[in-house]
Amino acid sequence: MDENIILRFKEFLNDKGISPSELAEKISVQRSSISHILSGRNKPSLDFVVKLLEQYPDLNIYWLLNNKGEKYRDKTKSSALPSSTSSVPDVRENDQRRTDVLNKEGSDKEIRYITIFYTDGSFENYTPGG
């Protein structure tokens, strides 16, 4: 794993004034998960990234993972779709039909949520039926 990711992750923890153990508790992950990321043994999983962003929505995940952009997102920007995209259909329309199409046929798995990442570093969580 890129050592710079580890350094940026440590910098983030230092900025927030929290220990790896405190972070693990805040985002409901095993302490060992964070230890493995900090040691370079494992890369952050998508689940880990989503939990981190839910707890710290100001963190620019592109900075953390790729060193792109500012460390923290501009809090004045909305994470919603810009008004210029009014021609984009509302994703909440026909939720059940979309969910049925997206779920694998014959599978008992259901979609819990979908995270959309935008190029400006913002993101939006979509929960079918929610």
Q: What is the pLDDT of residues 23-50, one digit of tens each?
A: 999 999 999 999 999 998 998 888 999 9
pTM: 0.56
**Cβ distance 36 to 30 under 8 Å?**
no
Q: Is the pLDDT of residue 117 over 80?
A: yes
**CA within 13 Å, CB half, 44:** 23
Structural domains in the chain plus CATH codes: 3-66 (1.10.260.40), 83-126 (no CATH)
pLDDT over 50 (residue 104): yes
Amino acid present at 49: V
More confident residue, 121 or 8: 8
pLDDT of 93 over the 70 cut: no
- Which comes out higher in pLDDT, residue 128 or 61? 61
Identify which of 61, 67, 24 has the alpha carbon closest to the alpha carbon of residue 46: 61
Length of the chain, please?
A: 130
